[in-house]
Amino acid sequence: MAITSFISTASATSSTASMALFSLLVLILVLSSNCMDLESSHGRQVPRGDVDLLEFPLNLEYFEAELFLYASLGYGLDKVAPNLAMGGPSPVGARAANLGPLLKDIILQFALQEVGHLKAIKKTVKGFPRPLLNLSAASFATVMDKAFGYTLKPPFDPYANDINFLLASYLVPYVGLTGYVGANPKLHGAVSKRLVAGLLGVESGQDAVIRALLYERKAWDVKPYGITVVEFTNRMSEFRNKLGHDGLKDEGLIVPPNLGAEGKIKGNVLAGDKYSVAYDRTPEEILRIVYGSGDESVPGGFYPKGGNGRIARSHLRSA
């Protein structure tokens, strides 16, 4: 009796076990067929159509990480997180900026935030190697000269002091944030949308800090040019609008009141459309701006060999 009962319990257990195994197999089959068009090699499930849109911003995140790391520490990803560069070339011309303690502290925080952003994107999609970045003072000076339409003398040096570095930084997170706003409606997966919203939040915050610090100094003359901080921001924003070829998406610190919030105010500490909603940009508009060429198929500026990833490479004629 005892033996029979033992045997029947054992066989019940084994049939329960095989039922469980069978259900598990069915579940795996169902899951894997549902995930046919999902990129799951990185643990997170991302629809294939989202992958390029999530990878593209790495171009800007590499730029920001390197600029902010070098400015605050005097070295970049090669020392801080070499694996994140995925074998891409070291940036050209970046160096420690001559910053006061407050700005140095803030820029180091931004730098480490950008390292986090690189990790967050690469945790979700495979990503690509760091593109060649030209972060030389001359590269920023060229942008400023083009924005003013004449050669500033001496050449603008982003690394010279706080105000110059803030003006150079005015070029950076804002372009990233318009890209994230532009990418959002094109994404399909929940994981993709969550990631982009999270990146957008922090990029916008960085832009707000930079703009607020500049706004506080808006009437300052930038030495030795005798040009105010406001004028610099207005010229840079106009230049980006021109390069982007898609209308008004960039605004300086003081605008005609009809462009300010509710069409009623000239102070413009944050940029936004007539409803104070952030502007959006496509990857192509962003490439036209960061290449400084106004053409997504003509690399140059901060990206002498162009950006990486499917979207940027698809526009390069020789690629």
Ligand X SMILES: *[C@@H]1O[C@H](CO)[C@@H](O)[C@H](O)[C@H]1NC(C)=O
The residues of the shown chain that bind ligand X, judged by CB under 6 A, are 92, 134, 136, 138-139, 142, 304
CB 146 within 8 A of CB 294: no
What is the residue type of 67? L
Amino acid at residue number 49? G
Q: How far apart are CA 244 and CA 18, in angstroms?
A: 62
Q: Write down the least CB distance from residue 90 to ligand X, Å.
A: 11
Between 142 and 234, name the residue whose CB sits nearer to ligand X. Answer: 142
Please, what is the minimum distance in Å from the beta carbon of residue 40 to ligand X? Answer: 38
| Nearest Cα residue to 131 out of 231, 227, 55, 28 | 55
Residue 56's identity, in one-letter code, is F
**In the complex, minimum distance from the CB of residue 302 to ligand X, in angstroms, rounded to a whole number:** 8
Whichever of 109 and 136 has its CB closer to ligand X, that residue is 136
SS (H, E, C) 21-38: HHHHHHHHHHHHHHCCCE
Q: Which is nearer to ligand X, 110 or 291 (CB)?
A: 291
Our CB check for ligand X shows the closer of 92 and 120 to be 92
Q: What's the min distance (Å) between Cβ of 151 and ligand X?
A: 12
Structural tokens at position 17: 């076990």
Question: For residues 303-312, b (16+ Cβ closer than 10 Å) or e, as one string?
Answer: beebbbbebb
Separation CA 25–CA 13 (nearest Å)? 18
The Cα 252–Cα 22 span in angstroms is: 64
At 92, give phi and psi (nearest 5°).
-100, 135
Nearest approach, Cβ of residue 136 and ligand X (Å): 5
The answer to whether the peptide bond before residue 224 is cis (omega within 30 degrees of 0) is yes
User: What values do phi and psi take at 268, rounded to 5?
Assistant: -140, 60
Minimum CB separation of residue 204 from ligand X in Å reads 29
Q: Determine phi and psi for 300, rounding to 5 degrees.
A: 155, -160
Cα dihedral value 27, 30, 31, 35, nearest 10:
170
Min separation Cβ 158 and ligand X, Å: 12
Q: For ligand X, which is the closer residue by CB, 260 or 299?
A: 299
Minimum distance between the CB of residue 140 and ligand X, rounded to whole angstroms? Answer: 9
| CB closer to ligand X, 134 vs 237 | 134
Cα 30 to Cα 38, 43, 267, distances in angstroms:
14, 18, 56
**Of residues 47 and 304, the one with the C-beta less far from ligand X:** 304
C-beta of 252 vs 299, nearer to ligand X: 299
